[in-house]
Amino acid sequence: MTLTPRTYLVKTLGCQMNVHDSEHMAGLLEEAGYTKAPAGDDVADIVVINTCAVRENAATKLYGNLGQLASIKRERPGMQIAVGGCLAQKDRGEIVTKAPWVDVVFGTHNIDVLPAMLDRARHNARAEVEIEETLQVFPSTLPSRRDSLAAGWVSISVGCNNTCTFCIVPSLRGKERDRRPGEILAEVEALVAQGAVEVTLLGQNVNSYGVEFGDRGAFAKLLRACGDIEGLERVRFTSPHPAAFTDDVIEAMAATPNVMPTLHMPLQSGSDRILRAMRRSYRSEKFLGILDRVRAAMPDAAITTDIIVGFPGETEEDFQETMRVVEAARFTSAFTFQYSPRPGTPAFDLEPLPKDVVQERFERLLALQERITLEDSQALVGRTVELLVLDGGGRKDDGTARLSGREPGNRLVHFTVPDGAEEPRPGDIVTVAVTHGAPHHLIADSGIAGGTYAVRRTRAGDAWEHAHTDGHSHGDSCGTGGAPAGGPVSLGLPTLRVGR
Ligand code: SF4
């Protein structure tokens, strides 16, 4: 009698690092014999919640999710719930105390134990909590189930050596650990061999990559080395840190054709006084100077940022400094946040500003950035762009019948396939001209007016087609080209145990 494999679902809260960790959690579960729950299902035999601890509402989101799952679990014997990520690393056993229907709690340093802990909890019929203080296994050596065939995340380091006073990350992800360049390039080559045409290099602070093995120029060298990888069309990275951002990185970006002209550079505040209080070791002049040099080397660079409004002690003058820098920086877009005190951070005990003051400033900043973002979009009308067609490239909506892709600046572009023209597959490259600039996306309908429209089939498109035809069906997420259908990808790198 063939047993129906148990299904799993990974819910991800938080940043790209969590998105990437979730791909490894999914890969581990598939290697252990579980199958991904069908797209659209929001329950499964195993539900893993990969948590974030950065924002105040992070805990609310987790316990809200767990509350909903409690009643479902009562109706579904054998269902197991696991909680991982930064809030698990921080709250540990407290999660089981608050939500005793949780079966497994694991941390940011020991993702690899997830399948074994699920088995143990099932066998012992009790909750299992296992948190490590330091990294046990480099997540990138673990199997992964990627959400996209065409594009992949490659982490180059974990942890952070900085001590920004609002940030909980260093205490939850530890000091920076750097992977060896050879390992990173091997993983990039393995992803390209599976059909990926784009990779994003991932680290809490990619500019200080190499600090652990004493090579300050390691990140620029890594970017240049990615330029030599056959078939790799697009390289992106996140997140750099202004304090450690050096000119060799700008030169490497400008000199390496497949490194995309995009930069996500967290400003956090435009006020030097507040930057000092945040323990961000740069000032607004240096920040703007970097942007000037980036734009001198890459005039089309698309620069985005993170900004916190309402840090304790922020005066109207400080806020005006943020507005001045934002006006001067002309960011393509910005992630803007209201300051959120986090237990365990150096700034936690500082007197917070009144909520209405923060809200009012937040709205002024949003209005300014929205204006700049729209002007940036409108300035691209008429520009011919190459788009990497997105997974789930299904129609944006029935009304418009447009597909979607991302241009080199990582802006989202919706485009129309002219009647009778070749329809691209997810992962293919389409050349179109921008016909309309909207606040948070571009429209490129050049093809329907007999204008620019061309499709270049890529290996990523081939891999997608392979994964979605011949009876292969991988639901909404792409299988892993080259790997057994639906199987996780083991990159053949020996499991690296750190610190034992
Ligand atoms: S650089 Fe600062 S904000 Fe970023 S992860 Fe490190 S401590 Fe947190």
Query: Which residue from 267, 200, 183 is spatially nearest to 16, judged by alpha carbons?
Result: 200
C-alpha 167 – ligand 1 centre gap (Å) = 6
**Within this chain, do residues 156 and 250 fall inside the same structural domain, yes or no?**
yes
Last residue of a domain, one of 333, 360, 379: 379
* Number of domains present in the structure of the chain: 4
Q: Is residue 492 one of the residues assigned to a domain?
A: no
- For 370, the token pair is 């929205």
Residue 138 CB contacts under 8 Å (≥ 6 apart), including other chains: 155, 158, 177, 179, 496, 498
Asked if residue 319 is part of any domain, the answer here is: yes
Atom of ligand 1 nearest to the CA of 160: 6
Of 363, 379, 395, the domain-final residue: 379
- Which mutation among 108, 155, 167, 269 tests ligand 1's pocket best, with the greatest number of atoms within 8 A of CB? 167
- Residues 108 and 156 reside in one and the same domain: no
CA distance 139 to 249: 26
pLDDT tens string, the chain, 500 residues long: the values are 566 889 999 999 988 889 999 999 999 999 999 999 988 888 899 999 999 987 667 788 899 999 999 999 999 989 999 999 999 999 999 999 999 999 999 999 999 999 999 999 999 999 999 999 888 788 888 999 988 889 999 999 999 999 999 998 888 888 999 999 999 999 999 999 999 999 999 999 999 999 999 999 999 999 999 999 999 999 999 999 999 999 999 999 999 999 999 999 999 999 999 999 999 999 999 999 999 999 999 999 999 999 999 999 999 999 999 999 999 999 999 999 999 888 889 999 999 999 999 999 999 999 999 999 999 999 999 999 999 999 864 445 567 789 999 999 999 999 999 999 999 999 999 999 999 999 999 999 999 888 999 999 999 999 999 988 755 544 444 444 443 344 333 333 333 333 33
How is residue 343 written in tokens?
């237990």
**Which atom of ligand 1 lies nearest, measured to the CA of 163?**
7
Phi and psi at residue 343, in whole multiples of 5°? -55, 135
The CATH number given to whatever domain includes residue 349 is 3.30.750.200
- Residue 322 in contact with residue 334, Cβ under 8 Å? no
> Does 388 share its domain with 374?
no
Q: Which residues line ligand 1 (CB under 6 A)?
A: 160, 162, 164, 167, 169-170, 204-205, 241
Cα 417 to ligand 1 centre (Å)? 43
Give the list of residues 6+ apart from residue 42 with CB closer than 8 angstroms, or none: 9
Q: Coil, strand, or helix at residue 80?
A: strand
Long-range contacts of 184-191 (CB under 8 A, 24+ apart): 184/140, 184/154, 184/156, 184/222, 185/222, 185/225, 185/226, 185/229, 186/491, 186/493, 187/140, 187/154, 187/491, 187/493, 188/154, 188/226, 188/229, 188/232, 189/229, 190/489, 190/491, 190/492, 191/152, 191/154
232 occurs within a structural domain: yes
Query: What single string gives the DSSP state of each residue in 15-29?
Result: -HHHHHHHHHHHHHH
Whether residues 366 and 410 share a domain: the answer is no
Please identify, among 351, 379, 407, the residue that sits at the C-terminal boundary of a domain.
Answer: 379
Q: What is the CATH number of the domain that holds 18?
A: 3.40.50.12160
Q: Is residue 70 part of a domain?
A: yes
Helix (H) or strand (E) holding 83: strand 80-85
Tell me the β-bridge partners of 268: 307
| Same domain, yes or no: 99 and 39 | yes
**In which element (H, E) is residue 262 found?**
strand 262-264
> What pLDDT is stored for residue 492 in this prediction?
37
Asked if residue 122 is part of any domain, the answer here is yes
In a domain, 121, yes or no: yes
Residues 209 and 172 in one domain: yes
Contacting residues for 41 by C-beta, under 8 A, at least 6 apart: 7, 9
Q: Give me the domain span that covers residue 37.
A: 7-130
Atom of ligand 1 nearest to the CA of 204: 5
* Entry pTM: 0.89
For 346, other C-beta atoms within 10 Å of its C-beta total: 15
Q: How far is the CA of 493 from the centre of ligand 1 (A)?
A: 29
Residue 494 CA to ligand 1 centre (angstroms): 30
Residues 418 and 365 in one domain: no
305 belongs to a structural domain: yes
User: Which atom of ligand 1 is least distant from the CA of 205?
Assistant: 1
Domain-embedded: residue 478:
no
The CATH number of whichever domain residue 416 belongs to comes to 2.40.50
424 and 354 housed in the same domain: no
Whether residue 396 sits in one domain with residue 357: no
For ligand 1, mutation pick of 54, 164, 168 (most atoms within 8 Å of CB): 164
> 177 and 204: one domain?
yes
Indicate which atom in ligand 1 lies nearest the CA of residue 173.
5
Distance from Cα 163 to the centre of ligand 1, integer Å = 7
Residues 23, 114 share a domain: yes
Site to probe by mutation for ligand 1, drawn from 168, 205, 278 as the one with most ligand atoms within 8 Å of Cβ, is 205
Ligand 1 centroid distance, CA of 258 (Å): 27
Residue 179's CATH number: 3.30.750.210
- Residues 175, 194: one domain? yes
Q: Which ligand 1 atom is the nearest neighbour of the CA of 241? A: 1
Closest residue CA from atom 4 of ligand 1: 204
Nearest CA to ligand 1 atom 1: 162
Our mutation pick for probing the ligand 1 site, out of 16, 86, 204, counting the most ligand atoms within 8 A of Cβ, is 204
